Structure 1
Amino acid sequence: MGKRKGLQNFLFFFGILPFFFWFFLRTIQAEEKKGDILYYTCTMHPSVKSKTPGKCPICSMDLVPVYASSFETKAEQKIPKETPEASPFFIPPERLQAIGVRTEEVQVRKLKLEIKAPAIVSINESKIYDINVKAGNGYIIKLYANYVGKHFSKGETLATILSQDWVQAQMDYIKAYRAWRRSLLVKKDNPILLDQQFYHIRARLRVWDLNEDQIRELEKYAWSMSVNDVRTAKGIRGTFELRSPIEGHIHEKNVYEGMYFTAGQSLLKIVGLQDVWILAELPEDQARYIAIGLPCQISFPALPEKTFEAKIDFIQPHFAEETRRLQVRVVLPNPHHILHPGMYADFKTTIDFGTRLAVAEDAVIPTGERYVVFLDHGGGHLEPKFVEIGDKIEGYYIVRGGVKEGDRVVSGANFLIDAEARVQGALKIWSSDHYPMKEKKDSGEKQEPQQMPPSHMHGIPHSHMHGMPGM
Structure 2
Amino acid sequence: MELTLVKEIEAKGIPGRGPVQLTDQQAQLVNIKTVPVTKGPLDQTIRAVGQVVVNEEKTAALNSRVMGWVEKLYVDTTGAPVTKGQPLMALYSPDLYSAQQDYLIARRQGGSLKESARKRLELFGISDEQIAALEKTGTPTNTLDITAPLDGTVIEKKIQPAQMVQPGMPLYRIADLSEVWVQAEIYESELPFVKKDQKAVVKIPAYSGREWEGRVDFIYPFLEGKTRTNMVRLVLPNPEGMLKPEMYVNVEIKNDLGEELSVPSSAVFNTGKQQYLFVETDKGVFVPTLVELGPVVGDRQLIRSGVEAGDAVVVDGNFLLDSESQLKAAASGEPHAKVAEGAKEGQE
C-alpha displacement at 1:282, in angstroms? 1.1
Whether the aligned pair in 2 keeps the contact of 1:370 and 1:386 (CA below 8 Å) is no
- With the length of structure 2 as denominator, give the TM-score of the two structures: 0.79
Gaps of 5+ in 2: 1-12, 335-348
Alignment of 1:320-335 (within 5 A): 320-335=224-239
Q: How does 1:147-158 map to 2 (within 5 A)?
A: 147-158=77-88
What amino acid is aligned across from residue 383 of structure 1 in structure 2? F
Instruction: Quote the residue 2:100 is aligned against.
Output: 170
Higher-strand-fraction structure: 2
Q: Does the 8 Å CA contact 1:374/1:382 hold for their aligned counterparts?
A: no
- Aligned partner of residue 177 in structure 2, secondary structure: coil
Letter in 2 for 1:171: Q
Any residues of structure 2 matched to 1:366-377 within 5 Å, and which?
A: 366=270, 369-376=273-280
The unaligned stretches of length 5 or more in structure 1 are 1-80, 181-193, 223-234, 435-471
Instruction: List per-residue Cα deviations over 1:181-206 (Å, max 9, x = no partner).
Output: xxxxxxxxxxxxx3x55444333222
Alignment of 1:129-278 (within 5 A): 129-134=60-65, 136-177=66-107, 194=111, 197-222=113-138, 236-278=140-182
- CA–CA distance in structure 1, aligned partners of residues 98 and 17 of structure 2: 95
Q: Which residue of 2 aligns with 1:125?
A: 56
Counterparts in 2 of 1:367 and 1:253: CA distance versus 1, 3 Å: closer
Structure 2 CA distance, aligned partners of 1:291 and 1:159?
44
Q: Tell me what 2:200 maps to.
A: 296
| 1:343 positional shift | 1.5
Q: Considering only aligned residues, what root-mean-square deviation do their CA atoms show, in Å?
A: 3.1
Distance 2:34 2:172 in 1: 68
Higher-Rg structure is 1
Give the 3 Å change call, closer, same or farther, for CA 145–199 of structure 1 in structure 2: same
Query: 3-state SS of the aligned residue for 2:91?
Result: strand
In structure 2, the CA distance between the partners of 1:322 and 1:252, relative to structure 1 (3 Å rule), is farther
Residues 3-52 of structure 1, C-alpha deviations (whole Å, 9 max, x = no match): xxxxxxxxxxxxxxxxxxxxxxxxxxxxxxxxxxxxxxxxxxxxxxxxxx
After TM superposition, give the deviation of residue 118 of structure 1 in Å: 0.8
Residue identity opposite 1:101 in structure 2:
I
Structure 1 CA distance for aligned equivalents of residues 240 and 33 of structure 2: 55
From 108, 113, 120, the counterpart of 2:44: 113
Partner of 2:5: none
Corresponding residue SS for 2:222 = coil
399 and 237 in structure 1: CA distance in 2 versus 1, 3 angstrom threshold: closer
Counterpart in the other structure of 1:469: none
1:385 matched to 2:326? The reply is no
- Judge conservation of contact 2:14–2:290 (CA < 8 Å) in 1: no
* TM superposition score normalised by structure 1: 0.60
Instruction: Compare relative contact order (CA 8 Å, sep 6+) and give the higher one, 1 or 2.
Output: 2
The separation in 2 between residues aligned to 1:432 and 1:369, in whole angstroms, is: 23
**1:206-231: CA deviations, max 9, x gaps?**
23323344333222212xxxxxxxxx
Q: Shift of the alpha carbon at 1:341?
A: 0.3
Number of aligned residues: 321
Q: Does 1:96 align with 2:12?
A: no
